[in-house]
Amino acid sequence: MVRQQSNQVKSQRSFYIPRSSFKAILLLVIAGSLTFVSCCATAANLPSGFTEEQFGGNLSGSPTAMAFAPDGRLFVCQQDGQLRVIKTGSLLSTPFVTLTVDSSGERGLLGVAFDPNFATNNYVYLFYTVSTSPIHNRVSRFTAAGDVAALGSEAVILELDNLSSATNHNGGAIHFGPDGKLYIGVGENANGANSQTLSNLLGKMLRINADGTIPTDNPFYNTATGNNRAIWALGLRNPFTFAFQPGTTRLFINDVGQSTWEEINDGIAGSNYGWPTTEGPTSNPAFRSPIYYYGHGTTDSTGCAIVGGAFYNPPVLQFPSSYIGKYFFADLCGGWIRVFDPTVGTATGFATGIVNPVDLHVGPDGALYYLAQGSGGQVFRVSALPAQALNISGRARVEAGQGVVISGFIVTGSTPKRVGVRALGPSLANFGIPGPLADPIIQLNRGDGSLVMVNDNWKNTQQAEITAAGLAPSDDREAALIATLPTGNYTAVVSGKNGGTGVALAEVYDLDQAADSRLANISTRATVGTGSNVLIGGFITGSKIGATRVAIRALGPSLQQFGIANPLPDPWLALYDANGTLLASDDNWQTHPNQAAAIASYGLVPPNNLESVIAISLAPGRYTAIVTDKNNQTGIGLIEIYDEQ
């Protein structure tokens, strides 16, 4: 497809858009200039199982870009020169910095990035349009002093070429790559000829060192001169957004098209993407064709300007695992977000009904954040509804006295929860468990110790109800009961009839997943032995599609203060998935600093440093936590599993 040579035919794309029909918008975009105004925000239409909430308050101007600091704060660029900070979910009243910028057309404060060593040097990088003649774009570095920039800390890193009277096509996105270099997307200033020359920086992707010097391994270092040696790729029209895939070197460049196609380009050093000769797919071997492109129009898969790009490879999984490695992108006019699958080269819909999205990021919590211009600018957090505990169990050896197996759980929410509770023993022999408990008794108690219900052999009471629920044990000597419980704390105690001992399994099932309540904060206390007599806590999460944050603790030494005569000396904790794959393990809870910080934030610091913890985000599925002693000693241990969603 040949691109139109007259770059002035299409009006400038500013950061404002009127509340008019998309059809009318596109006619105006093609036919002439357009004045844009921001509009009110409405809730996005999301796939089933997802929800959104506004993150931080309303901004005070047209937003252009955002980025997460390594410490979790979200910095948002406003076109008028203010850099706003959202901290712990609240928009701070004082901007990080307020720059004097030229904000006409598409100019202004357009990009923000954080130094890879931000934790030690506090460097923040900004891309903005200077307001004094000659008008040009600049990349500067600022030093953070808390939530504001230190006075006088601006250091100019790179001065870009002087701009013409055209105020559109500035680009502005900046990100550090996995190589520690700063990458900069620059528009061609409404002059397609700029994109195909090495004599200026316009219409290019640039790559520089953090201090503004130019890496000697840049592809045009030996053919360009001066600052132009910073050119990393060329042939771009307006690369307003781009993104690196975490954990890889892959880069996707979103190039805003003119009259026909919007592009996602595979960012590769030395590439020429063809503007202004080509727009969209091309067979010309001199140019690199986009890996994905879509046309202009008014449907949920067409639009007018590609904005925002984010790979779903978060440090903490929150969406279903099927999203891992996918690429989210949005369209300014279409008001939608779509998902591109690089493995097959196709895209599917994700969200619609957004008022002028301009940027996307996957947060450190695994949620998707989008920046939109509605209501003067807003950030929204999209998350998958977290899975809940559907079944919890504890397997251990039942002894007499303090050696009984005690499984505790909490019912949270606003309505009662119908649960099924079982105690299995004889049937465990079918799974190769030696020494099973011959005749288990299950006793369900409230948090104050009062009795809810007790059962010896499951057919003695509630046989029809237990069978209908699919919970009938395979051996008549095993115990089961069903109860509807108000919110509160409960314990299921498994003992042996006539003082019997052996390995038993205590289980609690959620029998009413639709109720506005859930099982949470489960625990099992029992004797921890060796071999098959270790303490095992199993649980199943489901009902919703999202991952849920879970904290697991293995306690031993601190149980002595509660009158336990033989506590486990040094607990060791391991978590496995349904395939037996080890997901995480821990010996002493302070061993892993990040995990220890998460546990502290949950208020779950163990009383003894020898005790163990795991903090993890888990997709819906079956999991097993196993407690042993580090030195193969024995004693009474306690495993606790907390739902921290």
Query: What is the average pLDDT across 407-421?
Result: 89
Query: What is the average pLDDT across 24-34?
Result: 29
Burial class (CB in 10 A: 0-12, 13-18, 19+), 21: exposed
Query: C-alpha dihedral over 576, 580, 586, 587, to 10 degrees?
Result: 130
Residue 14 has pLDDT above 50, yes or no: no
Residue 637 has pLDDT above 80, yes or no: yes
Residue 19 — very low, low, confident or very high, per pLDDT cuts 50/70/90? very low
Residue 41 — very low, low, confident or very high, per pLDDT cuts 50/70/90? low
- In sequence order, what E strands does 333-474 have? 336-341, 346-351, 357-362, 368-372, 378-384, 388-398, 405-413, 417-424, 440-446, 451-455
Residue 230 has pLDDT above 50, yes or no: yes
Q: Return d(Cα 28, Cα 33) in angstroms, integer.
A: 7
The H or E element spanning position 527 is strand 517-528
Do 22-384 and 388-643 fold alike per CATH? no
Residue 400 — very low, low, confident or very high, per pLDDT cuts 50/70/90? confident
Residue 391: its pLDDT value, please? 61
**Would you call the peptide bond into 134 cis, given omega within 30 degrees of 0 as the criterion?**
yes
Residue 33: its pLDDT value, please? 27
Give residue-wise pLDDT tens across range 212-228: 999 999 999 999 999 99
The H or E element spanning position 544 is none
Residue 99 has pLDDT above 80, yes or no: yes
Residue 42: its pLDDT value, please? 61
Residue 395 — very low, low, confident or very high, per pLDDT cuts 50/70/90? confident
Residue 59: its pLDDT value, please? 95
Share the mean pLDDT of the chain.
Answer: 89
Give residue-wise pLDDT tens across range 268-326: 999 999 999 999 999 999 999 999 999 999 999 999 999 999 999 999 889 998 999 99
Residue 192 has pLDDT above 90, yes or no: yes
- In sequence order, what E strands does 373-439 have? 378-384, 388-398, 405-413, 417-424
Residue 32 has pLDDT above 50, yes or no: no
Give residue-wise pLDDT tens across range 603-617: 889 999 999 999 998
Amino acid making up residue 504: A
Nearest Cα to 177, choosing from 113, 271, 234?
Answer: 113
Residue 610: its pLDDT value, please? 96
Give residue-wise pLDDT tens across range 238-277: 999 999 999 999 999 999 999 899 999 999 999 999 999 9
Query: What is the average pLDDT across 397-416?
Result: 86
Q: Return d(Cα 39, Cα 292) in angstroms, integer.
A: 30
Residue 482: its pLDDT value, please? 96
With pLDDT > 90 as the criterion, what percentage of the chain qualifies?
Answer: 72
Angle (CA) 346 351 353, round 5°: 130
**Would you call the peptide bond into 276 cis, given omega within 30 degrees of 0 as the criterion?**
yes
* Helix/strand/coil percentages in the chain, nearest 5: 10, 45, 45
The H or E element spanning position 74 is strand 74-78
Give residue-wise pLDDT tens across range 515-563: 888 776 677 888 888 887 888 888 878 777 888 888 899 999 999 988 8
Nearest Cα to 389, choosing from 603, 50, 641, 48?
Answer: 641
Query: What is the average pLDDT across 175-188?
Result: 98
Top pLDDT among 510 and 274 is at 274
Top pLDDT among 531 and 64 is at 64
Q: According to CATH, what is the number of the domain 22-384?
A: 2.120.10.30
DSSP string over 236-257? -S---EEEEPTTS--EEEEE--
645: tokens are 């969603």
**388-643, what's its fold?**
Jelly Rolls (2.60.120)
- In sequence order, what E strands does 545-634 have? 548-555, 571-577, 582-586, 612-618, 621-629
Q: What number of CA atoms fall less than 13 Å from residue 276's CA on the CB side?
A: 18
**Beta-carbon contacts of residue 178 (< 8 Å; ≥ 6 apart):** 244, 248, 249
Query: What is the average pLDDT across 469-486?
Result: 94
Residue 359 — very low, low, confident or very high, per pLDDT cuts 50/70/90? very high
Residue 45 DSSP one-character state: B
User: Rg (Cα) of the chain, in Å, rounded?
Assistant: 30
Residue 39: its pLDDT value, please? 52
82: tokens are 């203010």
Residue 40: its pLDDT value, please? 54
Q: Return d(Cα 444, Cα 491) in angstroms, integer.
A: 6
Query: What is the average pLDDT across 499-510?
Result: 88
- Range of weakest confidence among 52-56, 193-197, 230-234, 633-637: 633-637
Sheet hosting strand 171-176, strand order edge to edge: 171-176, 182-186, 204-208, 231-234
470: tokens are 């699919």
Query: What is the average pLDDT across 446-455?
Result: 94
Residue 10 has pLDDT above 70, yes or no: no
Nearest Cα to 128, choosing from 170, 188, 85, 189?
Answer: 170
Parse the chain into domains and list their residue ranges.
22-384, 388-643
Q: Return d(Cα 638, Cα 529) in angstroms, integer.
A: 13
What's the gap between Cα 635 and its chain centre? Answer: 40
Q: Give yes or no for a contact between 418 and 484, defined as CB atoms under 8 angstroms apart.
A: yes
Residue 2 — very low, low, confident or very high, per pLDDT cuts 50/70/90? very low
Q: Give yes or no for a contact between 356 and 17, defined as CB atoms under 8 angstroms apart.
A: yes
Q: Return d(Cα 504, Cα 443) in angstroms, integer.
A: 14
Residue 375: its pLDDT value, please? 83
